[in-house]
Amino acid sequence: MGRLAVRSVSLPPLRERPEDLPVLLAALSPRPVPGHPPLTWTVEARRTLERHSWPGNVAELATVVRALAEERRLSGPVRPEELPDAVRGGAGGRRLGSLERAERDAILEALRTHGGNKARAAKALGIARATVYRKLRSYGIQGI
């Protein structure tokens, strides 16, 4: 029986390699549905992505791309104003600790799962609806 050689590859964090963003965006974007254009990005949106510190690294980028692809109703390239506040450097642009990132991601995933319904997302998370609103405000997330 053969053995697999295990190798480890170390990569710098995404914030240190913004030149990888175009390739990552293409790889992380879902295949377009027939009759719908592929997800593309304006130059300004890509520059905004390059300036973000990506504390969640490539996983955070994947979450942003997936959310945009699922919720996008506009045609044409993604514009900076469509990006989440935290990526644009708005109120939510502060650095989050690992626990805060996990909490934010859990809330956003629950909201996606429940079609943006905050009451159902809160129930699924076992927290009060008011807590969901408060946490979204504290992370600078609006429009959900």
Q: What is the pLDDT of residues 72-104, one digit of tens each?
A: 766 789 998 888 877 887 544 556 678 888 888
Residues of the chain with CATH 1.10.8.60: 15-93
CATH topology for 96-144 is Arc Repressor Mutant, subunit A (1.10.10)
pLDDT digits (tens, 9 = 90+) for 115-143: 889 999 999 999 999 999 988 888 767 65
Write down the pTM of the prediction: 0.57
Residues of the chain with CATH 1.10.10.60: 96-144
Which CATH number does 15-93 carry?
A: 1.10.8.60
Task: Say whether 78 sits in a helix, a strand or coil.
Answer: strand
Q: How many CA atoms lie within 13 A of 135 on its CB side?
A: 22
What is the model's pLDDT at position 12?
87
Question: CA 120, 126, 131, 137 torsion: positive or negative?
Answer: negative
What is the model's pLDDT at position 118?
92
pLDDT digits (tens, 9 = 90+) for 12-68: 888 888 899 999 999 999 888 787 778 899 999 999 998 888 877 888 899 999 888
Contact 30, 23 (CB under 8 A): no
What is the model's pLDDT at position 41?
93
